[in-house]
Amino acid sequence: MTRQQRIFLRPLRCLPFFLFGTCIVIICIFTLTSKRLPVKDDPSVEIDINAFNDLANKDAFLRHADDMHRLRKSIINELSQLEQKRNKLKATVQTLEDSHKDLSTQLKDMEHELSQIKVDVKNMILTKKEIFSEYSSVPLPLPMLSDLSASTGTHMNLNCDLNSCFDYSRCSVISGFPIYLYPTYTDDNLLIAWKSAIENSNHITNKPESACMYFLLVKDDTKINTQSLEYWKGDGRNHIIINVGLSSLTSPKSRAMVAQTNRTKFDRGFDIFLPYVDVLPVDYKVLPLLLPLRKKILLSFYGQSPTILSEGEKEILGAINKLNSSDIISFITQCTAKSVCLPDQWCLCSNHHAVESERSSIFVMIPNCANMPSYQFTYRIYRALINGAIPVLLGDFYQLPFSDFISWEKAIVSFPLQRVTELEYILRNILESDIMSYKKHGRIIFNDYFSSVEKAAHALINTLRYRINMPPPPVPEAVSTLVYDEHHPMQTFQSRVDNGNEILGPIEAPFPSPSYQRNFTSFLQFSHWSHSSYIFPYTPWDPGLPTDAKYHGSPYGFRPINGGAGGSGTEFSASLGGNYPHEQFTIVILTYDRSELLQQQLAQFNGLPYLNKVVVIWNNPQYPPSTLKWPHIHVPIQVIKAERNSLNNRFMPYKEIETEAVLSMDDDMGLRHDEIIFAFRVWREFRDRIVGFPGRYHAWNIHDEKWNYNSNHSCELSMILTGAAFFHKYYMYQYSYSMPQAIRDKVDEYMNCEDLAMNFLVSHITGQPPVKTTSRWTFRCPTCGEASLWIDESHFNERHKCIQFFIEVYGYLPLKYTQFRADSVLFKTRVPEDKSKCFVFV
C-alpha cells in the first residue's frame, strides 16, 4: 500500500466511532425531551399536564410542541443523511480493501515472478558461461598413411592378420565404411538371398574406386578367377570371399579374407566363421517357448557315430555311453535316418525324433571332434538354439560364429573333453535362474544373427566394421510431415493457466540433448553400441561421471543443488542437480479427433519448466481444420500428420524429438506441473526404465491358467501405461526397428496394446520393472464420455489376448513385478520452519 493510500485511509478509520458517538448524544437528547413534551401522533406517550401549568396559555404550548416536532424531524433527516454517507464510506472502505487484496495478490505474483526470473537468470548465466567455454570443434583427421602392410603376407598360408594383409588406408574412420559387391549372376536361392541382403545394407556403394572393402559371393568350391576381378590388384587386399556353401573353399594365396562355415583352412582373427542359416527366415511361430525350464531330458545328443574312431574318441564315446544309463540323459549314436556323410565323420540324424529329443532337453551336447565337419558343428548350434535348448560344447572350440562381438559365454556351456564323466553332476547343479539366462540369451542371439540370411549378412558386415574400428552409420529417423510450417503458420490464441506459485525450475529456451557424442569412438569401449547395424544418438546406459568431477575440471552442463551445498525446497527447485547434466524433455501426444480436449491439455503446459517442445501426432486421416486455433505457450508445438491411423505412431522416432527424455501422454491426461517435474527428476535416476503414473499388472487366471491384464488397485505392479509416462527415446528406435514386426501388426489389428508392447520391450531389454511415481493409480476424463476406449469391455479382452500373444513372440514373459513407488525425499517429513519441502504436494 502506498503512503498516499495510508494517509487517505487514516481519518476513515475513526469515522465509525464518530458516528456511533453522535447517535448516542442524539438519542439522549431525544429521550429527555420526550419525557417532558407531548408527541403528536403517539398515543403511547403519557403527557404530564402539571408540567404545563406555568405556561401562559394553550397556544404557547402548541407552538412549543410544533417546534420540538420540527426539531425531531430535522434530526431524523440528518441521521438519514449521515447513514447514507456512512454507507457510501463503508462501500469506499470495501472497495479499498478489495483493491488492497488485489494489490497483495499481484504483489505475491510479482514476487513469484521475480523469484522465477532470478532462477532463470542464474541458469542463463551458467549457460552463457558454458557456451563460451565449450570445447572447440574437433578438426577432421589427417589423410591416412599409405598401405604399410607387408607385401609378402599371403593367405591360405596361415600367416595373415589385419596388420599384415589389410590396407587400412582405404578405410578412413569418417568414410562410412563403403562396400562394393561384385556382380553375382546365379539362380541359386541361397546366393540370391545373400546378394539381396548385402545390397540392402546401408554401407553398399556403387563407386568401387572409393570402397573400403570388396565382397565376392560364391558357393562351395567354385573355381574363382581372381585375376578377372577388376579391383583385385594382384593380391586381393581388402577383399572378402563369402562362401555360403558347406564345403571348404579352395582359393589361391592372397591377402583376401574368407568367410565360410568350414574351418578346415582358417586364419583366426582374419577369416570369419559363418553360422548355418536357412534360406527361409525363421519367425516366432517355429520357435518353442523357453518355459518350462526343467524338462524330462537333462542332456541329449543325436548323431550317427563314425565307423572309424581313434582310441581317444573310443574312450570318450564309452564314457558317454555310461552316462546314457541315466533316465535324464539321452545319447543316440545310431540313426534310422541320417544325412549323407563319410565313414570317418559324424552324421546328423535327420528323423523327427532328433528334433523332439532336443525340444524335450535342457541341454544339447555338441562334441568337438576332429571327424565332425565344421558345417555340422554350426548346424548343431543352430538346431539347439532353434529348439530352445542350451548348447553344451565339449572340447576346444577356439572359434565360434561372429565371436568378435557375440557374447557366446552367455548362451552356451563349454567343457574340456576330459570332463565328459562329470557332465551330469555339473549340469544338474546349474540353477534355474541361470538356465533361464542361458536360454534367453540364446534366443536373442538366434533372432539377431541366425534367424535369416539378412540378419547373418548384417552380422558379417558388423564383424568386419568392428574389427577395423569403423563406426556404424546413424540410425534413421522416422519420416515426418509437419502440418504447420513457415508457409502454413499455426493460428494461435493467448491462454493463461494458473499453475500455482510453486517454483519448479527455470523456464529455459529449448535446447536439444547432445547427440552422437561417441559416433567415432563407440568401438573403443562400449562394445554393445557397435554390435548394431546403426549407432544411436544416445542410449540410456551412459556411465556418467563421479559426483566430484564437476568440481575438478568437468563442470559442463551440471547444475548442482545450491552450487553443491545442497538444501531443501527453495534451493532444490532452482536446479536439476542429480548425477547427469541438466536437460529437457519432449512431450509427445497422440490424438485422433478430440480437438477441444487437446487444446485444454496443451494450454496446461504453458510455463512448464524443462519442457523442450510438444509434438502432437495427428492420427486422423484428415488434416486439422483450417479454423482450428492452438494455444500459445512458451515452447514450440509441432503437429505431425501421421501417414495412417496406427497406435504404433506414438513410438515413432521422429526427428522433431530432440531430447533423450520423452513424456508420452494421452490427450485427456490431466497432470499438474509438479507431478510432471517430479516424474522427470525420477526418470533421470532410472534412465533405462519406464517412469510414470498409471500402474497396471499381469495377473494369473487360476481358472484358465493364462495371464490376464489387470487394472485393479494392487500393492504390486508390472506395467506403467504410456498415456502418462517418461521413457528414453532409444526405446522408440527399438520399438519401431528392432521389436518383432508381429507385435506391431497385432497392435494395428486390435487398435490396442501399444502401451503393453512398450512395457514388454523395455523389460525384455533391461530385465527390470518400471518405476511408479506419486499416488495416482488411474485417470478419469469426466468430459470424454463414450470416447474413452477403456469403457468398452472388449478393450480389456483384447489386452488379455495381447499378453498371451506377446509371450509367444518373446518365448517367455519378460514383465517383472515391483512393490516400489517413488515419492520426493521430504514427502510427509516434518521440516523446520526455516526449511521447505522439495515439493508442496508431491
First and final C-alpha spacing in the chain: 35
Owner of C-alpha cell 546401408:
202
Q: Where are the beta strands (DSSP E) in 314-407?
A: 329-332, 361-367, 390-394
- Gap between the Cα atoms of 775 and 841, Å rounded: 11
The strand pairing partners of 366, in sequence order, are 393
What residues have CB less than 8 Å from 713, skipping those under 6 apart? 777
The strand pairing partners of 259, in sequence order, are 242, 272
b/e 385-418 (16+ beta carbons within 10 angstroms → b): bbbbbbbbbbbebeebbbebbbebeebbbbbebe
* Number of Cβ within a 10 Å radius of residue 759: 27
- Gap between the Cα atoms of 454 and 154, Å rounded: 31
Owner of C-alpha cell 438519514:
80
- Kindly state the DSSP code that residue 623 receives in the 8-state scheme: P
- Kindly state the DSSP code that residue 470 receives in the 8-state scheme: -
**All cell numbers assigned to 785:** 464420455
Q: Identify residue 682 by its one-letter amino acid code.
A: V
Minimal CA–CA distance to 232: which of 210, 250, 214?
214
**How far does Cα 494 stand from its chain's mean position?**
32
Backbone angles phi, psi at 615, to 5 degrees: -105, 115
Inter-residue contact 831 to 568 (CB < 8 Å): yes
* Number of Cβ within a 10 Å radius of residue 41: 6
Inter-residue contact 683 to 661 (CB < 8 Å): yes
The strand pairing partners of 241, in sequence order, are 216, 258
Quote the crossing angle between the two packed helices 793-810 and 754-766, to the nearest 10°. 30
- Gap between the Cα atoms of 836 and 826, Å rounded: 9
What residues have CB less than 8 Å from 730, skipping those under 6 apart? 536, 538, 539, 540, 660
The strand pairing partners of 725, in sequence order, are 664, 692
The strand pairing partners of 218, in sequence order, are 243
Owner of C-alpha cell 401562559:
56
Q: How many residues does the chain have?
A: 842
Owner of C-alpha cell 535416476:
685
Backbone angles phi, psi at 304, to 5 degrees: -80, 120
- Gap between the Cα atoms of 97 and 89, Å rounded: 12
Q: Which helix (H) or strand (E) holds 218?
A: strand 213-218
**All cell numbers assigned to 751:** 487398435
DSSP letter string, 484-510: --SSSPPPEEE------S---S-----
- Among residues 755, 792, 823, 834, the one annotated as catalytic is 755
* Number of Cβ within a 10 Å radius of residue 84: 10
Q: Which helix (H) or strand (E) holds 673?
A: helix 673-685
Active site residue 823: no
**How far does Cα 387 stand from its chain's mean position?**
32
**All cell numbers assigned to 434:** 541361470
As to burial, measured by CB atoms within 10 angstroms (0-12 exposed, 13-18 middle, 19+ buried), residue 778 is middle
Annotated catalytic residues are 755
